[in-house]
Amino acid sequence: MGVMGKTRMVLTLTGRALHEAVSFIVFTFLDLLDLFLCFAYKVADFFIEAEWKPCYCTSAKEAITSSGKILVSEQGESKIVCLSSSKLELEEISDTLYTRPSLLSEVSKLTVNELKRIKVEKTLVQSCEKTKKGTMRSTFTINSTIVEMLQEKIEGQKAHPIPRWSDCDCKLCTSWTTSSTETLFVKAEGAKDKAKEDVLFIHGFISSSAFWTETVFPNLSEAAKSSYRFFAVDLLGFGRSPKPTDSLYTLREHLEMIERSVMEPYKVKSFHIVAHSLGCILALALAVKHPGSVKSLTLLAPPYYPVPRGVQPTQYVMRRVAPRRVWPPIAFGASMACWYEHITRTICLVICKNHRLWEFLAKLITRNRIRTFLLEGFFIHTHNAAWHTLHNIICGTASKLDGYLNVVHNHLKCDVNIFHGRNDELIPIECSYNVQERVPRARVKVIEKKDHITIVVGREKAFTRELEKIWSRSSG
């Protein structure tokens, strides 16, 4: 037994070392590839759209906030960017959009920073002297792309073409452009009159309302249909909802669109929330914003990673969600989606822009056995929406989730239920138990032999019955 144990330990350590080595080689190559694609897309954007499209590979700028203004200094030049509090707050923008440390970026910083340090410090001192001392509040680093996009959004400059050349322009993807009001796509079912309460369904990352309307909605009982109104939305940037090219897809923008599309027009007062994956973050934020209205919170695979003290929250969560590893495959996919702005744009160009072809081939090869609604959710989005939503919601809320959960625990009386698949390789089960530690009354149910998707897909009837029990128990 001793020899077998030592042999097993040696094999395990050897496997880990090999995995680390392969991951290092693969991601170093991807770093270089993304850099090459950055240049390629700038050239393509310039020739096709007659302008250089800003990206997050550009150097950082030093910005000083003062009463809604940013003093931007770079390469000896300064300019004022005025912000409107009704639009965006810089704290809503995750630094992981433009700070993703890698071997390539670290080498680049070491070789360039020393050359620029003296010049940058001199520029900042001169800029600060020109700013009134009474209005200066803080200094921080912000990427130039953020500043350019904020300028366009706030000053009302001409937005980029809708859709962009690398986005799909089919009727399904652009249906929102023909609407007189810019609201989310909402699928509503259930009681027409005298509904007891409402239920809001929020899908996860790279998905759509079909995740609910093709699974839960067809299996609702007649009693539930006569008692509740059900709303499933396509989040901003996904499915049939608006996909503005000038949006930064912040938490505030997502929440305001849900309120404008569901809560205000349908006069929603008392409601239950069912959310999956990334949607759980939006659900918690919505519950905190409307504490007296939420009757129950049902969270499926919530991505909650408690941040250790002294660690930068956004960077910590990014490393947990996207660990730059080639195995398991779902971790590799998450790392690709989170670390590489231009590689993921290429993937969207190949898949999303040509989603009709891929859907046809999938149906042809599988003879319609594949769940087509999952393909629709995966294909119908823009790179801009996916990239910003991933970083600003998953990573950008890392420092906020503790506060949200504390509010749910201390100030909300709603029922809290959590479901997690035992075989979920994307969001580990510990995330659900982490939520329960913050909210002890939360019930955690682990579904055996199910993963991130099959926690619902494949057990639609059983899951719907569980939801109806939750709503019945927490109503009143």
Say whether both 336 and 235 belong to one domain. yes
Annotated catalytic residue, options 95, 424, 451, 474: 424
The verdict on 220 and 303 lying in the same domain is yes
Active site annotation includes 424? yes
Answer whether residue 151 is part of any domain: no
* Structural domain of 49: 16-91
Tokens representing 104?
């390539």
Residue 459: how many CB atoms within 10 A of its CB?
Answer: 15
Establish if 453 belongs to a structural domain: yes
What's the pTM? Answer: 0.85
Q: Are residues 74 and 169 in the same domain?
A: no
Domains held by the chain: number? 2
Query: Active site residue: 254, 355, 381, 452, which one?
Result: 452
Domain assignment of residue 288, yes or no: yes
Per-block average pLDDT, block size 10, for the chain (476 residues)?
75 88 94 94 90 72 40 42 47 83 56 47 43 40 55 48 84 84 92 86 95 96 94 96 90 96 93 97 97 96 95 94 90 93 95 90 75 80 95 95 96 96 95 97 97 94 97 84
Q: Does the residue 106 lie in any domain?
A: no
Q: Give the per-residue pLDDT at 368.
A: 65
277 is catalytic: yes
**Which of 73, 203, 355, 432 is the catalytic position?**
203
For residue 130, CA distances in Å to 3, 67, 78, 183 come to 73, 15, 10, 43
Which of 91, 110, 141 corresponds to the end of one domain?
A: 91
- Rounded CA-CA distance 151/154 in Å is 5
Only one residue has tokens 């020393």, namely 114
Within 290-351, residue ranges assigned H as helices are: 313-321, 329-339, 341-351
- Selecting among 23, 209, 261, 277, the annotated active-site residue is 277
